[in-house]
Structure 1
Amino acid sequence: MKKCYLIVGFLFFMLFSSFGCVKDDAENNQGEAKSINHPRILLLKGEEQQIKDLIASDPTWAKMHQAILTECSKILAKSPVERVLIGRRLLDKSRECLRRVFYLSYAYRMTGKEVYFIRAESELLAVAEFSDWNPSHFLDVAEMTMGMAIGYDWLYDKLPEDSREKISEAIVSKGLYPSFDSKYNWFLTSSNNWNQVCNAGMTYGALAVQEDYPDLAQQIIDRAFETIKLSMGEYQPDGVYPEGYSYWGYGSSFNVMFLSAVEKVLGSDEGLNATRGFLETARYLEHVLAPSGKCFNYSDCGLGGNLSPAMFWFAEKSDNPSLLWSENKFLQNSDFSKFTGDRLLPAIMIWGKNIPLDQISEPSEKSWMGQGANPVAMMRTSWTDENAVFLGFKAGSPSVNHGHMDVGSFVMEAEGVRWASDPGMQSYESLESKGMSIFGRSQDAQRWTIYRMNNHSHNVLTVNNELQKVSGYAKIDKFSDAEDFRFAVSDISSVYKDLLKKAVRGVAIKDEKYVVVRDEIETPGNAVKVKWAIFTSASVELSEQSATLSIGDKKLYLKVEGLENLTMKTWSTAPTNDYDAQNPGTVMVGFECEIPANTSKSFEVLLVPEKYANVALPLDKTLSNW
């Protein structure tokens, strides 16, 4: 039976392989196989004691360990994962398989309790029986393979021979072989998160079964080492992740899972962690989290920030515990159950075991800027004060993966309130179920009819009610971390091609008190209507050249300087299309102004917390002199 199953899988692989033949020489390598011990992925046999010592000595890690065990108890009461697609995806089931198996395998290794092993084995065998792991959406295969590989490797010595056989055959036939099919493996030439996730998943599968399939495993590992460079190159030059905070949590975390595993098994990641910008990306993630704990949520991104296990790997690699300042704040939360939705959470016990939490110091810099495909700058007045002023600003292009028409957008916090926000992402399934094609990047793509993705919902200039230009790109031209005037400036003219001759935007925190947004534009040979707006959850009261924003008992004043004949306005954020998501409790606020043809115009908007209302003054200083 085993030989027939493997022959079918082998023929499938031979048919679709674009990488040449792989000889299944399991029977010819038994001596080599016996010399390779399990577990070998992430945590070697015997290394459990280091985590046990950590749990015994540090109440925070003891609490995290207990949260994982408590979640395992909840998993015990559930039925094994079933093969049920949502739209075209099996991904939520793949993620749940990975989460359950990782948690249960960790619990068994740390406690030795049979109940965790039995439940993990049931999960592994149930998934092994699936007809396939949905290779048409290969992320599903990648995450399922990673979960199966961790379970197979970590529980190997305990698994009965027939269970091992079923699980390993599933890893090979439903995970590894399909990755050679050109219909599915486009991720190998991609530079986005698919490359990182899929290469990581395939590598875990290869590492798990390498003694039985040495040639196949080696080919997959070699392929991953070569092609993952494409996605790691996206962090250049400074560490910005083009897809934003949420997808950093996806792509970067799986990239770290890959690097951590190959270094453990092979003794080296062949210098991949030294890729320009990669280790620096930890500083990007540290700064992209605001004092409120929310993130600068540009692109397809949610608003909430959360604990990132991968940051503990970065901190250890960089020998810089201060990178964990924000992560340590999350660890002050009294309810650790909020972390247990993270399928990679047990890795934090591995990556965090050598970093004393009491050595995590305040970061030395309050501002950070990075160039790249989607440049951003973040600045704040304090790391310790939750009422600090925070300003996040982005340049870039709508054409990046998961990008929005948000070039020149910003978010702003003060007094513990997010005043200028971002609508963030909309569920893909909610759009795809209505027949929307949501990943096109051409100027006329359906993606740009979606409210949350086009510029009408972002904190940008909109000219003549037109869309920003997808082909445009803006870098950050000037940046300063001076305490009395932190700022960033970007020439964003290219995203307004044929609408404006020139558009330059600067954003700044002045005197640690309030925010200034300055725009300098030149109109073409026709008059234009300019809309300046921010997306906010505040209630709004309009005046002649200002607006008062209120959230609870907090107020922010929006003051316009340098323009005449403007009209202060609010715009509804309610959907006008049946596919658009609701945006309850939000509104756009700003102004519209007609600007004549062939005119240069500069104007400033001050965003002033109530307590500084009497001291805030316009800069009246050109961006070239910032």
Structure 2
Amino acid sequence: MRFFLRITLLLFLAFTSFLANAQVDHLANVTSVRGHPRLLLAAGQEKVISRKIANDPLIKKLHEAILGESSKIVQIAPLERIKTGRRLLSVSREALRRLFFLAYAYRMSGDEKYLKRAEQEMLAISAFSDWNPSHFLDVGEMTMALAIGYDWLYDKLPESSRSTIRAAIRQKGIDASLMSEHNSWLKSSNNWNQVCNAGMVYGSIATYEDDPALAKRIINRALETVTLPMGDYAPEGAYPEGYSYWGYGTTFNVLMISALENLFGTSFGLKEKPGFLQTPYYLENMTGPTRLPFNYSDAGRTSGLQAAMFWFAQRLKDPSLLWVERDNLRNGSMEGHLKDRVLPALLLWMGDANLSNINPPKETAWTGQGKSPVALLRTSWTDPNAIFVGIKGGSPSVSHAHMDAGSFVMEADGVRWAMDFGMQDYESLESKKVDLWTMKQNGQRWDVLRYNNRYHNTLTVNDSLQRVSGKAPLTHVSKNPDFMNATLDLSELYQGQLATANRGIAIVNGESVLVRDEVEAPTQPAVVRWTMVTPATVNLLAPNRAELTKDGKKLIVEVAEPATVTLKTWPTDPVHEYDAPNPGTTRLGFELTIPAQTKAVFTVRLLPEKAVLKKREPVKSLAQW
């Protein structure tokens, strides 16, 4: 009897496991696919791209730059399998750049030199021992690279080369993704899922006719599992991993959707996922008048051209989404643009956009909830001296997050006055044995200077860390131009340190910025530090007043409440030997000891030169905002 029960239990577990892993066959009605090329750009569509190039000087300049860069690639040696630390990713990314550029250049010009060089690159990469499946992003990008080259150049490649490249895509890419030790990303809700699934879909589409059943299996798997990270765009499109990883995860997500639509005529419901078609508004609003992004979490300090925005603008029939992208095209360095490995996709996704005639966005405030809620406020899209403010909530537990809940950036008069250090290069930390990816409260990640709350524009209590388990939601938003504001409840981030903590930030009468904190000490006193990191020179004028100067401009930082605080500065020098230097930056702020079970209010004004002499109204409590 016991044996029978055991067998029954095992059969039940096996059956439930089967059900859990069973895939919906989204491709049940697909009996065949068109010939090559079938990824992104069908045969003959080059003429459509050529007409866009002829009609838009900016796009023509970009097209010619891609061809020029491709000619330079022709002159350099093929890539080698050289890892940086545990990653082959830099090689994979350069492979994608080279092969996308060369294949595009050949299809648009017909020049054989691009074809021959792409073939040489693909054969060299195919000969690698593997594509480093232990860090599967490397495989995802390498598979996409060879898939584009193989598919776009298929008819011109000799069968011997096709066979070699096809085998590499299958064995080093797709087959590796079927091994459980290499595919934990299938259960991830971050950018890994988006990038790796996109790469496997490209490999499967490129080699579809060789094993249709396997290709369908991989595509079905992607359609089922990519919904995990896509779920994080809900409800309004705020991407939890921040600006730089939006550019990574979302771009590869769009590359996958674009390939599916181009071949099958449908995204199988992916683009309709809640928040996904709203996410370009998040990205656009993340850039200030200085062209710097709100670089919270693991993000770089500079912005860049985002090809995916052209896809969104086309899908939503909203050219205003390209307001920032046009500025990047006009004023960004062409050399910088040519580092973008998916740059040719921009020309494929142009649609009917006319870059010489784009209206600015209508809204000057954008807010989104989600895992990392943000509020992005500005006084104008057309005035280079406009005020811009970004503030975030969320949690240190979110993928790639810092202890930066409550942190803000602020610009006025063409200067970023309140800044974020952003990320530190991973290899610079990993090479020194820093355990960067343990997100627990006592994880070494939080010892890194740029990652903890002490070096962000937020509160630090008793010189302690924010709580990893805490979350800070947006609690109120107003788009009133006279008092545009947003508030956050930070209480969970300071559990055990403060009884309550709430922060609000506002643009007042379109002229100045107000930061207000309302906190309450628990059953013991609390020492609260208010911090703002700035790249400006700081001159302390009075106990509650400091003058910031940068690029010939001035900003006054004035503590209106409480009257007893004294502003001071702290250095931003490395604390550990592994911390990156932060030259030209200063922490400005103050500390206050709050007696046990006592409430306190901090009100700080950031006053551009034109607002310094203006009359300042009394500040209402956050509950009245």
**Counterpart secondary structure, 1:396:** coil
**2-side partners of 1:552 and 1:139: how far apart?**
41
Contact 1:243 1:401 in 2 (8 A): yes
Q: Which residue of structure 1 lines up, in the alignment, with residue 578 of structure 2?
A: 579
Q: How far did 1:360 drift?
A: 2.1
Cα distance in 1 for residues equivalent to 2:70 and 2:247: 23
Alignment of 1:202-601 (within 5 A): 202-333=200-331, 335-542=333-540, 543-601=542-600
SS at match of 1:412: strand
Corresponding residue SS for 2:343: coil
Alignment match of 1:110 (pick from 108, 128, 147)? 108
Find the aligned partners of 2:34 and 2:284 in 1 and give their Cα distance. Answer: 39
Report which stretch shifted further, 62-71 or 242-251: 62-71
The offset of 1:618, in angstroms, is 5.3
| 1:505-556 alpha-carbon deviations (Å, 9 max, x no partner) | 0000000000000000111122221111111111111121111111131111
Deviations 1:35-73 (A, max 9, x none): 731001000000000011111222111101011011112
- Check 1:19–1:160 CA distance in 2 against 1; reply closer, same or farther (3 A cut): farther
Is the partner of 1:607 in helix, strand or coil? strand
C-alpha distance in 2, partners of 1:480/1:331? 33
- Alignment check: 8 A CA contact 1:50 1:353 kept: no
In the alignment, the residues of structure 2 paired with residue 384 and residue 564 of structure 1 have an alpha-carbon distance, to the nearest angstrom, of 38
Give the Cα–Cα distance (whole angstroms) in 1 for the partners of residues 99 and 615 of structure 2: 56
The match for 1:149 among 147, 151, 154 is 147
- Residue 7 of structure 2: aligned partner: none
Distance 1:76 1:288 in 2: 37
Equivalent runs, 1:76-87 vs 2, <5 Å: 76-87=74-85
Correspondence for 1:25: none
Moved more, 461-470 or 322-331: 322-331
Matched residue type, 2:131:
W
8 Å CA contact 1:367, 1:377 repeated in 2: yes
Take 2:561 and 2:298, find their aligned partners in 1: how far apart are those partners? 34
**Separation (CA, whole Å) in 1 of partners of 2:21 and 2:557:** 60
Q: State the Cα RMSD in Å.
A: 1.4
- In structure 2, distance between residues paired with 1:36 and 1:307: 32
Partners of 1:168 and 1:600 in 2: CA distance = 67
Secondary structure of the residue aligned to 2:260 is helix
Q: Per-residue displacement from partner, 1:566-612 (whole Å, max 9, x unpaired)?
A: 23111100001011111011010011112211111112000001121
Instruction: Give CA-to-partner distance per residue, 1:358-380, whole Å, 9 cap, x none.
Output: 44211110000000001000000
Extract unaligned runs of 5+ from structure 1.
1-17, 22-31
Deviations along 1:339-371, whole A, 9 cap, x unmatched?
010000000010014222244211110000000
Question: Retained in 1: the 8 A contact 2:314–2:351?
Answer: no
Residue type at the aligned position of 2:590 = F
Q: CA deviation at 1:334?
A: 7.0
On the 8 A contact 1:259/1:273 being kept in 2, the answer is yes
Measured in 2, the distance between the counterparts of 1:241 and 1:616 equals 39
Q: Quick one: distance in 1 between partners of 2:282 and 2:34?
A: 39
TM-score by length of 1: 0.94
Counterpart Cα distance in 1 of 2:52 and 2:558: 53
Query: Aligned equivalents of 1:319 and 1:616: distance in 2?
Result: 44
Unaligned runs of 5+ in 2: 1-19, 24-30
Counterpart Cα distance in 2 of 1:334 and 1:261: 28
Would the aligned equivalents of 2:56 and 2:356 in 1 still touch at CA under 8 Å? no
Three-state SS of the structure 1 residue aligned to 2:376 is strand
Give the C-alpha shift of residue 336 in structure 1: 2.4
Contact 2:37 2:43 in 1 (8 A): yes
Deviation beyond 3 Å, 4+ runs, structure 1: 18-21
For the Cα contact (< 8 Å) 1:187–1:198, is it kept in 2? yes
Q: Secondary structure at the match of 1:584?
A: coil
Instruction: Look up the equivalent residue of 1:103 and give its one-letter code.
Output: F
Sequence identity, in percent?
52
Q: Kindly indicate whether the alpha-carbon contact (under 8 Å) linking 1:36 and 1:211 is maintained by their aligned counterparts in 2.
A: no
What's the CA shift string for 1:179-218, capped at 9, x where partnerless?
0111110111101000000000000000000001111111
Secondary structure, in 3 states, of the residue corresponding to 1:317? Answer: helix
Q: Does 1:66 align with 2:80?
A: no
* 1: CA distance, partners of 2:551 / 2:335: 29
Query: How big is the shift at 1:139?
Result: 0.2
Question: Aligned with 1:133: secondary structure?
Answer: coil
Equivalent residue pairs, number: 598
Q: Is the 8 A contact 1:81 1:93 kept in 2?
A: yes
- For 1:519 and 1:56, how far apart are their aligned partners in 2? 55
One-letter code aligned to 1:513? E
User: Which residue number in structure 1 is paired with residue 623 of structure 2?
Assistant: 624
CA contact (8 A) 1:461 1:531 kept: yes
Shift of 1:333: 2.3
- Residues of 2 paired with 1:196 and 1:616: CA distance? 51
- In the alignment, the residues of structure 2 paired with residue 491 and residue 84 of structure 1 have an alpha-carbon distance, to the nearest angstrom, of 47
Post-superposition offset of 1:266 = 1.3
Gap change, CA 1:618 and 1:523, over 3 Å in 2: farther
